Amino acid sequence: MNDTSDLKVLRALRDWRRDGRSALLATVVSTWGSSPRPVGSQLAIRDDGRLIGSVSGGCIEDDLLFQYLRQRPAAWGQAGSPQQVRYGIDAEEAHRFGLPCGGTLALLLEFDPAPGMLEELVSTLERGQLVCRRVDCHDGSSRIEVSDSPAELVFDGNILRHTMGPDYRMLLIGAGMLAEYLATMALFNGFAVTICDPRSEYLGSWSVEGVRIVTEMPDDAVLDFHPDQRSCVIALTHDPKLDDLALLEAVASPAFYVGAIGSRRNSAARKDRMITHFGQTEESLARLRGPIGLYIGSKTPSEIAVSVMAEVLAVKNGVALSPVHSVAAMKAAGTAV
């Protein structure tokens, strides 16, 4: 899934249909040029005009709402038959709907998705499984299958194959002030956040809601977390007894981001310990980031959290970061202390 907002869309749509309400599900199936929302983004509209989700910056949502409430079925056909619509076909329409220059997007509209299918889809996603949803545009039938690996949305005009699956997750080792700022930012960016700290004195003042808290030793917490390609693990305690073993478990996992806070000296000492005492090599530790973050001259916990969150999102989104952006590289160059 693109982020947790998509799961919120599906949960709301499930509840509406379970209550017997009519509803529309719109999915971005393709884009050309610039587009406000990526392929796979979803929007649901209930028969009374309530809506959740997004497929653009707002104007397309307004048009979809108007069409659904005022002109269906004349504009789009009967329920049960998915319809395709395009926006931004020419410059005038792109401007009218607030699309960037040259932007065009295509949507697949599904009317009254089956409640049973939605129930199964949401429950499977909530169990943390990767799911491919297949929609046949000829008859509107839909089925879901558990998938083994992420895949791009595929739509050939007749069959939609939309792979969704579990939320991006973040495991933070250490419950200090920096962790509170970073957890807050991660939640706003659609991550499911788990905080691990066996030290009760730190957890006693924890104030961020919506975070799963565990108190086991961090290396055990990493194993129980089962990091996957949508997971990141970040150590924040500065305590080798807590950080080192957890990081060793994390770098051996498929997690897309593994890192630890600390100075260049502390980061180098950490790698030396792992190589000397735990049989690691420079190659096996190549994925271990430290010092972590993008260089923004940050000094305070809140600014450091911005720096770290920015790097996590850049890696998540496949952005190739140059050394000039890295805290580690800039410290090595003497730009930062």
Residue 192 CA: distances (Å) to CA of 167, 233, 279, 309: 6, 12, 32, 14
Residue for token digits 């048009």? 63
Average pLDDT, the chain: 87
> What pLDDT score was predicted for residue 320?
86
Helices (H), 55-170: 59-66, 91-96, 115-126
Residue for token digits 């969150």? 309
Spatial contact of 55 and 105, defined as CB atoms under 8 Å apart: yes
Nearest to 107 by CA among 43, 57, 163: 43
Residue 151 CA: distances (Å) to CA of 13, 99, 128, 133, 163: 23, 26, 16, 11, 6
Domains by residue range for the chain, with CATH: 4-164 (no CATH), 169-332 (3.40.50.720)
CA–CA distance, 94 with 104 (Å, rounded to integer): 7
The 10s digit of each residue's pLDDT in 279-325 is 999 999 999 999 999 999 888 999 999 999 999 999 998 898 877 77
Q: How confident is the model at residue 79 (pLDDT cuts 50, 70, 90)?
A: low
> What pLDDT score was predicted for residue 2?
41
Spatial contact of 84 and 105, defined as CB atoms under 8 Å apart: no
The 10s digit of each residue's pLDDT in 106-151 is 999 999 999 999 999 998 887 778 899 999 998 888 999 988 777 8
